[in-house]
Structure 1
């Protein structure tokens, strides 16, 4: 740890004095100029804070956000393609002044060390940082009303009570003159006890800036308080180590004796013909830009995506009773996926030969905070890539796939989410999310049933039904800036059985619908037609099939939002109303639920806080234009007893696959796998091809090998 630093919630916090010691080595990153998309460094964050503080010296400032301002897209692409100057490095800052909660946006030029623009915005609330959420527990424990609410159910030591800070959603009792959060209350029987086994029957509404409890909402059943569930359900080794089964599983080691197959030049990554830039920010976490690939058939580098990021998610709970109706967490827009990221550990979170990237955030005082090992980059075996066996003579050609994984794991109070951006050798990109952690629980009164809005996962514990809904933002650039989207539906032919063209009734085809406007492109998944969508470049035809080159969107795990139209969640989480939105690209339209999600109402056309619903309502042309696709996917979770006390990881994903993008199978660039020694239980000959690309298992004499 550097001098003048301290560790807070896993972050190493740098004061201006500590940052000054880094400046001489950090400013050029050991001689390499900064990439325009690299996150702000420790010294840059300190410099930005000093510029803002000196300008508003008469005010007391609370920094909410200091982050990189992405360069204007056209200017950045001109620089990337070698036809324009390097964009100016700028920072975007949100500050609260003089103990208030009014948002002040500031744009700072780093090279000019000056403020370029500043504006004050009314009736919006900024993201809740980790420091803001800490206010909840500190204030609640000292509040007389909260202390009495605990005494009334037999809890007298407030050090045994813990409070999870949550965004309040929207509370009609308060306006935008108060910056709100709610506190969910739990009890622990010991320091490391699982608090979610002991939920309490009340929650508070707290003013974050004034640091006061505004309201204590107590849930009563038949007019009575609900008793605290006292039975412990723990999962830490200190509680269950004697019960571990240690003799059933042998170790699995992942080794790469010649090292990894990817290289890093700063934050620019090259792997198996792919190139991309890995960025990171407080809100989206991982941002992947400039995804391109070497096409071995066309003998040139080809662009695929300008930018990929997880832009929003929401977890709406399905119990209508007060105060549970307020539980619908926007874990990206309300808390920031970058801010909630875990420091990763080899062998636990990632396995094999690993490259880590750190994350750099800011604190409320304008200091820099470094989270080590925030991003994991590694390779994994991915099973079969291709295979064919000639049944006549047994000749086999086969190759193993592998995948490059760029991942982060976040902790959102009780839940953990693992995000895995995955590229494989056939040109596929997949975003996989793994859900784990602990169910959000509430206490059951004696004789009370958990159904129909939840599941009793243990004695006295109700886990409510809920959904996890994600939005992947895709800024495509398939062989150029102008792309279109085509909807694909598998349908039977309209020709009746027995008539010409469908004599035997077996004809079916792919019905293709070009989406021409943003209103038309608000689409839902259709299981009956196995619906997919193609992002295409209509200006470039595949020479083999004479169809536009494209990438196919496959989003089968796409449950619709179950909250009723017109409800608070339906208004606030408008992006969940459709599986796909396609909008015309505009600067700064990055977040489908709006720039300011905390306490948002979802009112259409809200100033400074438009959503993807507003953008689609413009009904812009999206045919052969610069477009953005918003892909929704997720899961509806009806809790099981197996999900408690610690939930086994549940995966879900969305995928984009090359669709007539390449002239032929790009996986053929990978030579067949050679096995010099077979370690299986059967004495086979060689597995699936000799060295290089020539398959050698048998000759073509016609005699099949005997196994």
Structure 2
């Protein structure tokens, strides 16, 4: 990833070094600096010169292979050498399906290791080239053509949506790369096909042999006719004319400084990184307290995103998507635009990735960073002294947006003046649709007697199956150092009796998590459950452990049956929290190779050894996200829905760390008008 410095509209300018070469050099000089275009080119040249490379080989993934945390910290402290720059490279031969996982030394320009995948423990991520080939493959099969004709449409009138296959023990799929295909009619080039699902029909496709291995045709349902073109002014309606402009301005520029990928803001310091699979990565978040730079998180990312659907229809039961591990959602990152995606004094970061031929390419303005006012930080008017003090809260926002098929996801990390860290997912885009059966209409061999139980009707005859969005945040913690532990805190109601004669007492219970195997925990709103990450060697001025508290949302975990295929493949999503001992090879909650993985990987494998997690270098895996029963109001485009978690200091500081935030200067637009007069406005 490199950093841009572009003039922005309306007099807004980015701040930072405009020299890409200098930024690339800065990134490369740090062990976990993002891979530069030159490094991607080196990786390509090393790989394509090898004996395994041929004309049908493609790069399925290229990313930084990070050195061990202790090696990085030793280099930073001046007690260790600069670690070797390495890349992880996954290669797929599209003709044979041969898949390899490689580690390449960029420094030494050589392939260090190569592992050949046999497919039994999962496949490499789905390639764009495979997606692009699907329409031609199914169009050549007369069974597919006939099934469309039976529904009154043709291959020229439909678009096909290739989707990850999951794992269902079909003998003909063993060792083969499979995608499953659904169709949608598109009435004209500008027509959004999501409004016209061609239901009751699905094809299972071997992408290497270019054949349909199974065609599922369980009967025709009417193709919904009403359009869903949210970008059509006729659909949007007359513009709302009563909204007045909001101007966000920092006349003296932003408060942050940027040096390469390193950012300093208020008391915060951290590194901004990017990965094809995970998207935005934040590293080494620290807070300067009384002149001491105190670490909190070594590495934070959204390492997996599962979207499981709840429709058991014969053509939809397999819809369970791992948008990170199967699709590499970082490569679909949007180029952000001022005033549309980000508002105010913006610092943009470019994302530099490798395409499927190994060539570097740039997503301009892939990451947005800015400050925003978020209301009151602290306030009190004292009845005894007459003191009346208020301070404004502001936060630094680091975000990116990615479009994965029909959905658009924004991921926002917030750093606040009082030491709070938040991660918020914003969900919008278009619902994945189905035909909504009428009463008495058959689905397979079953007639529908009432409203369909597994989807909402969002337009006439148009269904939106129930589903979940389950994000996994990997939080490599480092609260005041490497010796951390997790305490589960529950509120406890106490019965009336001795010591509590009036029944008003309640207290808390603390349970220390000691081993990985028992670290899987569920949130519980009835007891205000939270998890405290504490340092087992450092104490605050009151003699208690320094720490941060993870405050979860109270949303369901995976709704699928525990015996289901998806539950085996995504054990991480069956709990809100797992804790593991740090291992640099354990990066992904569902495992390294998620596509067609049969299960038992990722978290399931990581906790099997039951390593100790009390006073160790630990990683938290936190699952959060909404369960979506779609509304009519979610169509034809969905207003943003939100999901988040919060990390707050708990005993980390000796007092309120935001006491020294200065009061705002009074400005004219804060004063109240009189006799109905409008407020004055100051424009900068």
Structure-1-length-normalised TM-score: 0.87
Matches within 5 A, 1:38-187: 38-56=33-51, 59-60=54-55, 61-97=57-93, 99-123=95-119, 124-156=122-154, 158-173=155-170, 174-187=172-185
Matches within 5 A, 1:181-330: 181-201=179-199, 202-220=201-219, 225-240=220-235, 243-296=237-290, 299-330=291-322
The whole-number CA distance in structure 1 between the counterparts of 2:270 and 2:131 is: 35
What residue number does 1:531 align with? Answer: 529
Matches within 5 A, 1:443-462: 443-447=435-439, 448=441, 449-462=450-463
Q: Is the 8 A contact 1:45 1:367 kept in 2?
A: yes
Specify which of 656, 659, 681 is matched with residue 665 of structure 1: 656
Q: Is the 8 A contact 1:182 1:206 kept in 2?
A: yes
Q: 1:521 to 1:228 in 2, by over 3 A?
A: same
Report deviation, 1:269.
0.8
Report deviation, 1:354.
1.1
Specify which of 562, 577, 580 is matched with residue 580 of structure 1: 577
Extract structure 1 runs of 4+ deviating beyond 6 A: none
SS at structure 2 position matched to 1:381: strand
The whole-number CA distance in structure 1 between the counterparts of 2:654 and 2:420 is: 15
SS at structure 2 position matched to 1:44: helix
Specify which of 559, 567, 571 is matched with residue 570 of structure 1: 567
What residue number does 2:592 align with? Answer: 595
Q: 1:257 to 1:140 in 2, by over 3 A?
A: farther
The whole-number CA distance in structure 2 between the counterparts of 1:683 and 1:542 is: 50
Report deviation, 1:460.
0.8
The whole-number CA distance in structure 1 between the counterparts of 2:273 and 2:626 is: 27
Report deviation, 1:446.
4.3
Report deviation, 1:191.
1.2
Pick which of 441-450 and 549-558 moved more.
Answer: 441-450
Q: Is the 8 A contact 1:129 1:336 kept in 2?
A: no
Report deviation, 1:104.
0.8
Pick which of 106-115 and 624-633 moved more.
Answer: 106-115
What residue number does 2:447 align with? Answer: none
Q: 1:142 to 1:267 in 2, by over 3 A?
A: farther
Q: 1:613 to 1:669 in 2, by over 3 A?
A: farther
Q: Is the 8 A contact 2:47 2:53 kept in 1?
A: no
Q: 1:594 to 1:658 in 2, by over 3 A?
A: same
Deviations 1:602-642 (A, max 9, x none): 1x3xxxxx311222232111000011111111111111101
SS at structure 2 position matched to 1:254: coil
Q: Is the 8 A contact 2:28 2:34 kept in 1?
A: no
SS at structure 2 position matched to 1:338: helix
Q: Is the 8 A contact 1:59 1:98 kept in 2?
A: no
The whole-number CA distance in structure 2 between the counterparts of 1:629 and 1:323 is: 36
Report deviation, 1:353.
1.3
Specify which of 337, 340, 353 is matched with residue 345 of structure 2: 353
Q: 1:159 to 1:250 in 2, by over 3 A?
A: farther
The whole-number CA distance in structure 2 between the counterparts of 1:136 and 1:377 is: 38
What residue number does 1:485 align with? Answer: 486
The whole-number CA distance in structure 1 between the counterparts of 2:602 and 2:582 is: 13
Give RMSD over aligned pairs.
2.0
Report deviation, 1:304.
0.6
Deviations 1:1-27 (A, max 9, x none): xxxxxxxxxxxxxxxxxxxxxxx9748
Matches within 5 A, 1:552-563: 552-563=549-560
Check if 1:653 corresponds to 2:644.
yes
Q: Is the 8 A contact 2:525 2:554 kept in 1?
A: no
Specify which of 414, 418, 424 is matched with residue 426 of structure 1: 418
How many residue pairs match? The answer is 643
Pick which of 671-680 and 530-539 moved more.
Answer: 671-680
Q: 1:27 to 1:347 in 2, by over 3 A?
A: closer
Report deviation, 1:32.
7.4
Q: 1:345 to 1:211 in 2, by over 3 A?
A: farther
Q: Show structure 1 runs of 5+ residues with no match.
A: 1-23, 605-609, 685-707
Q: 1:521 to 1:553 in 2, by over 3 A?
A: same
The whole-number CA distance in structure 2 between the counterparts of 1:35 and 1:118 is: 25
Report deviation, 1:534.
0.1
Check if 1:473 corresponds to 2:469.
no
The whole-number CA distance in structure 1 between the counterparts of 2:533 and 2:186 is: 51
The whole-number CA distance in structure 2 between the counterparts of 1:429 and 1:159 is: 50
The whole-number CA distance in structure 2 between the counterparts of 1:26 and 1:144 is: 54
Specify which of 612, 626, 634 is matched with residue 643 of structure 1: 634
Deviations 1:146-203 (A, max 9, x none): 33222221123x3431122210112432334311111221111121112111000122
What residue number does 2:9 align with? Answer: none
